[in-house]
Structure 1
């Protein structure tokens, strides 16, 4: 059955992602404490918001299976906590905030490598001339979709930070995951490329019935391109729902310590205007 997600976009049939009672941290320090998240449904794009050190990246790593966690992360009927990293990676692809340096590969080679690393059981991606041609065709197609086909033969070590971020996005998308986790995927991009990436992620989520969860810092972009928003502060969920439900003057004051107005523009979208920083006692 199809589902009508937040904001009315029709999603493809598929498995929802449910996170209940999730806790995770480092050594003796717990960062995320008993977090319940909204049900993430196929075809939806969700933004994870919050200030620095709110626990966003730690939560993303736990969802990706890279961080030990307790609680439940269930994709359809499959419990993901406890799966091997390889089994987890077949379902969930994670693009980290920081990208590796000093990789002596071309852009095309790096995307082909990402595809082969996720190709267990895919007869179109394996040994032999036919499968190699199919793999290259998929890699070229995603580079064109991301808008960086002209960089295919460039070495990764010759790219700018923004170009490397787009390559990392291509590496994630070529895997065709059921769940795509992107940690600050537009932080190094100019405004035009930020909008291009957000549009592409939204389009592919709709087309593939993929669940996309993105850590973002730009509230305006989150409000425009997300079906749902989760706002974190100090490892706990402060607000979640549609952008209009989660991004309010009250939550912005509590989470970011700012005085802000949230209004609707003539096209119906949210406009967030930050007027001032609140005194510490007012933001608490």
Structure 2
């Protein structure tokens, strides 16, 4: 099942991508997708509903972030060995954890806003995990049973803020629109093994990033279990799990994003995103 939200910004409604390719409005069944509602019980409710009888949504509708909000937006850094190598970093011995501000959550095709004075805006195609059941000291063997589904995330990053302005990475990861998510959450049963998914990102029509989740240093199961040692993960929490090589900061010379740049990115089974970089007023 593919869960999505549609409509103008601030007025999104919950929907599903039906097997016939149409978007169906499920707002008669659930008010919205967010921490209060996303759960395995909700999935069962949707699966048992007569989805064929629900309203069809126009194809031209805007697709928003698949969650109204998230309590935690957690990210894992340097989780691909080849990406760590291109940045000159050592391979982490334990997952490198940082946060993105929940307010950076954005629709999959919304514009990416270039912060005022930005010098080093960068892209990162990533596999995101959406939690569906409370995690507190969860074992690696049981971790995936707590995952509701998966989505594409572009972990947009301002490297100057992240690396050169002191403090923690959250400063370079949290500006408005720095967390495009979606176009939908694909439930875990449809994705299967999360460690065998091809990934790509094109910048202005040219391939910039290529990878596969099978080269992640720490698997999704390891990450969920590890995080649950240090914090309680709640339904609706998002974990974005690291990026393959090809980011702008790793090129020689570096290639950073500028106003007018076009991004297209995707992860196998999860769809695609398309964004344009625009200057912030």
| TM-score relative to the length of structure 2 | 0.23
How does the TM-score come out when normalised to structure 1?
0.22
Instruction: Point out the structure with the larger strand share.
Output: 2
Greater percentage in helix: 1
